[in-house]
Amino acid sequence: MTIEQLREKYNTDRIRLTEGEGGLPCLDIKTELAEARIYLHGAHVAHFQPAGEKPVLFMSSRSAFEAGKPIRGGVPVCFPWFGPKEDDPTAPMHGVARLQEWTVTSIADLPGGEVGIIMELLPSELSRKFWPHNFHLEHRIRIGRELSMTLATRNTGIEPFTISEALHTYFLVGDVRQVKITGLEETVYMDKTQQMKRFTEGTEPITISSETDRHYLNTANSTVIHDPSLGRRITISKSGSQTTVVWNPWIAKAKAMPDFGDDEWPNMVCVETANEADNAVSVAPNSDHLMQATIKVETM
């Protein structure tokens, strides 16, 4: 379906298919409950703001908005691998899903005033170059007072395959140095800043005081970002996920990333709903795997 056909089919007072940054097509949603922006490139949720609240997602002012490049901020979709591909250093970081334009298959008004969007990705020349499997991937997004995202993987081939994946969510915070993160107490994690050595989190909330890249394993717990600077709590509930990643680049790494502003690191923290490492998922032929994250904002 062409962009004009999408406009004719779906444009309403609540939903507009338009051109976003870099001329990339996106869906702008505005209802009594919330507003959001979703790019077709990467099925990427770039903005979510419940009515009467501040924006929930962080977007870098230096992000590229170009075909074949990832968008920095919002919610990148990492699939079918997370981080570098272990057996191929030439493969793109975090997989191919965030580098391609997805197809909109459904936009619907849901009960209670919410809006539901379904986008799909099928095997392509790019995916087959690095990962020769048949799959059908859907990103099911629900916009209301809460943001719900479900990554649905179906194995359409004749052999099982293994995936690692993430909804790599960047959250906007007032000052990351004042933030506390709860829900991951006493959980084993791999620390990327220390060559992936394993540690066990203590009993106190997580605080950020240096570059942080921790991959918490075997946890299905909800995670809460306590942000006194913005006076709010953000709760990330999940299902079908056993890994949670907490990331902030801090000063030096922020300066080293060309698509990330040098001084933007204090205003973001990633809390990612994922499956990776020990928690990679095997999907049998003609079977499905669903991973869901739901984001709720409350005043402290």
Q: Does the active-site annotation cover 272?
A: yes
| 111 vs 204: CA distance, rounded Å | 40
Q: Which residues pair with 121 in a beta bridge?
A: 137
Contact status, residue 20 vs residue 44, Cβ threshold 8 Å: no
Per-residue pLDDT of the chain in tens (300 residues, 90 and over written 9): 667 777 777 777 889 899 999 999 999 999 999 999 999 999 999 999 999 999 999 999 999 999 999 999 999 999 999 999 999 999 999 999 999 999 999 999 998 999 999 999 999 999 999 999 999 999 999 999 999 999 999 999 999 999 999 999 999 999 999 999 999 999 999 999 999 999 999 999 999 999 999 999 999 999 999 999 999 999 999 999 999 999 999 999 999 999 999 999 999 999 999 999 999 999 999 999 999 999 999 999
Residue in 168, 215, 264, 276 annotated catalytic: 168
Residue in 138, 146, 165, 272 annotated catalytic: 272
What pLDDT does 2 receive? 65
User: Can the peptide bond before residue 80 be classed as cis, meaning omega within 30 degrees of 0?
Assistant: yes
Does pTM top 0.95 for this prediction? yes
| All domains in the chain, ordered by first residue | 3-299 (2.70.98.10)
CB burial of 276-292 (b: ≥16 within 10 Å; e: otherwise) equals beebbbebeeeeebebb
| 151 vs 83: CA distance, rounded Å | 17
